[in-house]
Each structure stands twice: as structure tokens, then as C-alpha cells.
Structure 1
Amino acid sequence: MNHQLKQYTQLLSQSVFFWAIAMGVYSILRYYGIDEEEDFMVIRAHSGMFGALQSLIKLTCIGVLIGVLYTHVDLLFNRFMTNRISLANDVIIRTIFHFMVTIAVFTIVTDIFSNLNNTNLNTDSGRWAQNKPFWSAILYIVLASFVFSFIKIANEKFGKGTFLKILMGKYKTPQEEKRIFMFLDLKDSTSIAENLGLYKYSQFIQDCFYDLNTVVPKFNAEIYQYVGDEVVLSWPYKKGLTNNNCIDLFFAFQEKKRNKSEYYLNKYGVVPEFKAGLHGGKLMVTEVGVIKKEIAYHGDVINTSARIQDECNTYKVPFLISEKLMQDLKMSAHLTSQFLGSVLLKGKQEKVGIHTIHQVT
């Protein structure tokens, strides 16, 4: 519940902030050069700076209202619409819903302003059909919606906050960061693929990763890469440690699969099981590529995380974590750990201590 509330608060604050700024900018663009309009969007009841300020305040408030409503529209949309529709259809359908909400918002606000300000605004049914200022505002809002959608898509692609850093050129030169990495891999993938066949196996992987994506935002994780039937997850070091996010994500994913075990058995005849390796430390991050740009991480942390995950088969456990990362964690009461020893990982010259973690039921 806390994760859901936090996610809702973040979505709401982002939407309100964006639309307040967007409508504030619209107020400035629409105010100057327009002498008179019988419309709540631009009311020049006063000349000079006071009139501009009045218009800015009113449209910024409308932006806040739009942001609140659009947040709830998007939450309902995400809940009831399948994640498997194409990006184009997602944007189109979402825009239609936004359009309908906008009509309702503008109608309500027009009526309120007309009554409060005693202005002679047209509040008759169907007034929007011939209202040019309204349609100019709608066009602006639709374009702003596409910009906001683009920002959200880019933010999901690169990770929270990373897109802004890319725009600012932070990763044009390599930067040192401290991060946690998890390599999450499907167990017995070869035999499952042979039994299901290529097409159905691809559907199986799709379902697994859809389920994972419902869990990832709750624990502030970023998906760095999909590699076949493996996923590489990442956290800024402090975020990964907070509330044991880097550990609890794995068990939340397991719980998600258990809850859907009947679905997987009926459709595929097998319930997916994943193994994970977890490690953290300092590494370099930089922007690479020209035709296709990506953020790349370079350093021993990634290699060690992958090698730790490989040891899951050796010790027959689903989850392993490095001794170094384990020392920085504050274990919750619902978790227990067991030290398995120090092992010489492939490609390493020094042994690495590893632990396995279990959830107390």
C-alpha cells in the first residue's frame, strides 16, 4: 500500500507540475496581442501587468486541475486497458480520453467563472463547436499531451531522472556512480523452450516480463537491459538499500508468479522460476552510440553480479547476494540470510563472499 501511495503521489505531482507550467506558458502566448475575447481562457478585464497576471493565475489553476484529472484518467486507463496494445493505439486512445475530460473541465470552469465574475460568457449547450479560442486551446493541449507522453516514455526507457541528465549532456563524458545491479534469469529456459516451441516460448517470456514490470516501479528499480530470457535491473545505491528495495523486489516478483500459477499452468503447463544475483559498488556510466544512443555501464560490478547469479545453480538456491552489499543492508525482520562461503568467481582473481536470502513466512 505504501508503494502504491508513493507511486500515485509521484504521478500526480509530475502531472500537476507539467500541466501548471504548460497552461502558464499558454496564458503568456495567448494574452499578448489579443485585445478582447469572450472566453474564460483569456480574460482581459484589466490592462497592463495586472491583466497578464490575472490570466496567468487562472490558466495555471486550470493546468493544475487538468493535471489532477489526467492523472486519474491515466490510472484508470492503465488499470483496465491491456499492456499489449501498440504504443500508437495507446497514445491515440489516451488522447481521446484526455479530450473528453478536457471538454468536461472547460465546461465546468466556464460556468464557474461566468457566475463568479458576472461575465457574459456563452454557456449554452454545444457552444464549443464554433469557438475558435477553444479549439486553439485544444490543439495546444493535444500537442502538450504528446510532449508529456514522450517525456514519460523516454523516462521509462532510460530510467527515472536519467533522461534529463542525457538532455543536459551529463553522460557525454564518463561519470562515476555507485549502483546496485541484479541479474534475473529464467531457470531451465532451454528445456522450457524445447517443450513450448519458439512462438509459445516467446509469449511465455512476454508474460513473465509483463508481470515483472508491474513490480519494478514499486521498488524504485530501473530496467537496464533485456537479454533473451534474462533481465538486468539497477538502482542508485541508496535507493536500492532503502527499505531493502533491491531484495524485496525479487520476493515480490516471486509472489506475483505464485498468484498467477494457475494462469501459467493452464496456458503453458509450467510456472516460471527465476534466479537472481545481486551486487553493488562504483562503476562508470556514459552515453554511447550515434545512430542508436544508449546509456552504458562499465565496471567490475556488472560482471560480478552476473557471475554471482551463475552460482545459483551450484548452490541450488534462487537468490544470491555479495558479502560486500550484504554488509550495507539493514535486514528486515521478514528476511533471513545464510552465508555460503567465499568463492572464486569466473574471471576473478580474488574470492567473493556470498549469501543467500530467504523470506520468513
Structure 2
Amino acid sequence: MKRTLQQYLLFTLRSIIFWVFAFGFMIVVRYFGVFEEKGVSILPKYQLPLQNLLMYVSISAIPFGIFYAFIEFLFDRYLAKNLALGIIIFSKNFIYLVTLIFLVSFVVEYTGYMLDVSIYEERGWWRTNKTFWSIMFFFVVASLVFSFIKIANEKFGRGVFVKMLLGKYRKPQEEKRIFMFLDLKASTTIAENLGHYTYSQLIQDCFYDLNTIVQKYDAEIYQYVGDEAVLSWTYKRGIKRNNAVALYFGFKEKIASRSAYYQEKYGLVPEFKAGVHGGKLMVTEVGSVKKEIAYHGDVINTTARIQSECNNYSANMLISESLLKEMQLPEDYVTKNIDDLLLRGKAKAINIFSISKE
């Protein structure tokens, strides 16, 4: 709960910063770039000092930034799963439009008070006012830009989108990362028993539950492959608070908390197995039609092969010794040395441990 609150507050702060810049840009364009339009002309004697203008922008942007973050968080956490994307977009924009009508009306009155002029006197002036609707258009575009940045960050991982814009991954770059391969246990048997349609719903529900906790553990979803999810961390974030291990048990707890739902709908409670490993590898942009960030290196292959050994040793989670040594697991985590294993395609054996939680 504490980390969820921290994530919400961080998202709210980013929203406020974005809308402070958006409001500032709008004011510069509308109020300093357009001098002849009726109702928005600001004569030199009415222009605010810079410090007052900054305060004015901040006061206008802060409440909207807070409200915007709340609506986005509400939809993402509680409504996104059950509503079509088109309905979500329409609903959000309708809420924003109604809010902006009240907010802009307040801003206009506040501006008139600050400048000691009467800008608009009649009620409902915004219905036919071209300036108002041009401002609305600006906010719709700004909202789409914010949503695009948010979606891109979720798609590529925190900070990766900005690096792509700057062209960092146009050429392969070496990074040190941790990967987890998370796979549904007994997937073939479950698919045969449920049928492909119901099985797809099961996978959809499982990955939805996974998505509700990935931010809590600073993880990034690299890709989904059938009934398998591949997660990734920068080495520092994966080690911090044992995120690369704690996520698996957090996911188990999430599934357990909804066991009644799974049992009623599917007649089973899904279980997952995981393999975790870390090290240096290459990251680069691939593709031109469907551009993606791709990771190349032995770390990926080794992690997949570690996970494939779970069934052989009746283990739910396996981790490489090199990564385990970097962790500082609390006492309720139980580790067991499996042995030195010569994994398929590997010339050198790798020591693997199982991890369980009391």
C-alpha cells in the first residue's frame, strides 16, 4: 500500500510538472503571441511581472495536474480492464472537458481580478467564444501528448523512450540487467482441459494481475510469449529491495488473494514458475515498421534455461548463484543449492539455487 501511494504521488508530481509547462506554453502563445484578438489582448500596462506570471501558471496548473493524475490512476487501476479503449478515451476526455470549462472560467475570472479588468461578464460566455474552444483544442492535444508519453514509457520501460528519442539505441549499447522468465505451470494440461478460449481468458487474467504489481517492484515487461512473461530490471533496481526476487512472491500473493475468483471461473488456481539471472548484454533498436527495443546476449538464453529446470527439481523459483550473492534476502526466504548444472548449449556449468518463502 505504501509503495502504491508513492507511485501515485510520483505520477501526480509528473502530471503537475507537465501541465505547468503546458499552461506556460499556452499562455506564451495565446497571451503574448496574439495581440489583436478580442478578449485576449493584453496591453503592456496589464502585463504581469515574470514572477507573478510563473505563480499564476503554477496556481492554474497544479489543481488540474492533481485532478488529471487522479482520473488517469482511477481508470488504469479500476476501469481499464472492463472497458473498451474507445470508451475509456471518450470518458476521460468528457470528464476533462467538463472540468476545464469550470477551470478556465475560474482562470478567466482570476485573470480579470489580477489585471483589474473585466474580460467576460455574461454567463456561459464559453459556449460561443472562439478563444475558449481554441484553448480546449490545445488541452486535448496536450492531453494526447501526455497519454502518448505515458503509453510509450509503459511500452519500452521507464526512461527508455526518452533515450530512443535521443537516438541512444540506434547503435547497440551494453547494459547490465536482470531478467525473469515467468511461466504458467502445467500449461499444456490446463489448455487441454479448459479449451483455447477459456485458457486465453485465464492467461489474460493472470497477466492483468501481474501488471498491477510490476510498478511496485520497479519491473519492466519486456515481452509476452504465449503463457510466459519476460520481465526485466536495470541491475540496480533489481537488486534494490530484492525486487527481482520479491516480485515473484508478490505475484503469488496477488493470485492467492483472488483464488476464489479463479476457482469459480476456471476450476483451478494458477501457479507460476520462474527463473532469474542477470549480467551484461547488448540492447538496441530493431525494426522499422514495428520498432522495438531488443536485448541480445547470453543472459537472456541462460535465464530461459534456468527457468526450464524448475520442473526437473520440483522448484517454483530458481536463481543463478552469481545473482543470489548480490541479494540480501530476509530470513523468511529459504535458499537451497541445487547443484552445478551444465545447461543445454552452455560450455561452462552454472550454479543454481532454489528460493522459497516461509
Alignment partner, residue 285 of structure 1: 283
Alignment partner, residue 167 of structure 1: 165
Work out whether 1:127 is the aligned partner of 2:163. no
TM (norm. structure 1) is 0.93
Cα displacement string for residues 114-140 of structure 1 (whole angstroms, at most 9, x for unaligned residues): 455543243554221122221111110
Deviates more, 1:194-203 or 1:53-62: 53-62
Residues 242/38 of structure 1: CA separation in 2 closer, same or farther (3 Å cut): farther
The alignment yields a C-alpha RMSD, in angstroms, of: 2.1
**Separation in structure 2 between the aligned mates of residue 167 and residue 174 of structure 1, nearest angstrom:** 15
**Separation in structure 1 between the aligned mates of residue 77 and residue 170 of structure 2, nearest angstrom:** 38
Alignment partner, residue 242 of structure 1: 240
Cα displacement string for residues 283-323 of structure 1 (whole angstroms, at most 9, x for unaligned residues): 00010111211111011101110011011101101111100
Cα displacement string for residues 227-273 of structure 1 (whole angstroms, at most 9, x for unaligned residues): 00000000000001111111111111101111111111111111110
Tell me the CA shift for residue 60 of structure 1. Answer: 4.4
SS of alignment partner, residue 83 of structure 1 = coil
**Separation in structure 2 between the aligned mates of residue 48 and residue 105 of structure 1, nearest angstrom:** 22
Residue correspondence of structure 1 range 1-361 to structure 2 within 5 A: 1-35=1-35, 44=42, 46-47=44-45, 55=53, 57-115=55-113, 117-122=115-120, 124-360=122-358
Tell me the CA shift for residue 87 of structure 1. Answer: 2.9
**Separation in structure 2 between the aligned mates of residue 303 and residue 111 of structure 1, nearest angstrom:** 62
Q: Percent identity among equivalent residues? A: 48
Residues 77/123 of structure 1: CA separation in 2 closer, same or farther (3 Å cut): farther
The 8 Å contact of residues 114 and 120 in structure 1, kept in 2 or not, is answered as: yes
**Separation in structure 1 between the aligned mates of residue 353 and residue 41 of structure 2, nearest angstrom:** 66
Residues 220/336 of structure 1: CA separation in 2 closer, same or farther (3 Å cut): same
The 8 Å contact of residues 310 and 318 in structure 2, kept in 1 or not, is answered as: yes
The 8 Å contact of residues 28 and 52 in structure 1, kept in 2 or not, is answered as: no
Gaps of 5+ in 1: none
The residue type paired with residue 224 of structure 1 is Y
Deviates more, 1:65-74 or 1:238-247: 65-74
**Separation in structure 1 between the aligned mates of residue 121 and residue 231 of structure 2, nearest angstrom:** 53
The residue type paired with residue 207 of structure 1 is D
The residue type paired with residue 18 of structure 2 is F
Tell me the CA shift for residue 79 of structure 1. Answer: 3.8
**Separation in structure 1 between the aligned mates of residue 64 and residue 43 of structure 2, nearest angstrom:** 24
The residue type paired with residue 304 of structure 2 is A
TM (norm. structure 2) is 0.93
Deviates more, 1:158-167 or 1:108-117: 108-117
The 8 Å contact of residues 110 and 123 in structure 1, kept in 2 or not, is answered as: no
**Separation in structure 1 between the aligned mates of residue 205 and residue 83 of structure 2, nearest angstrom:** 14
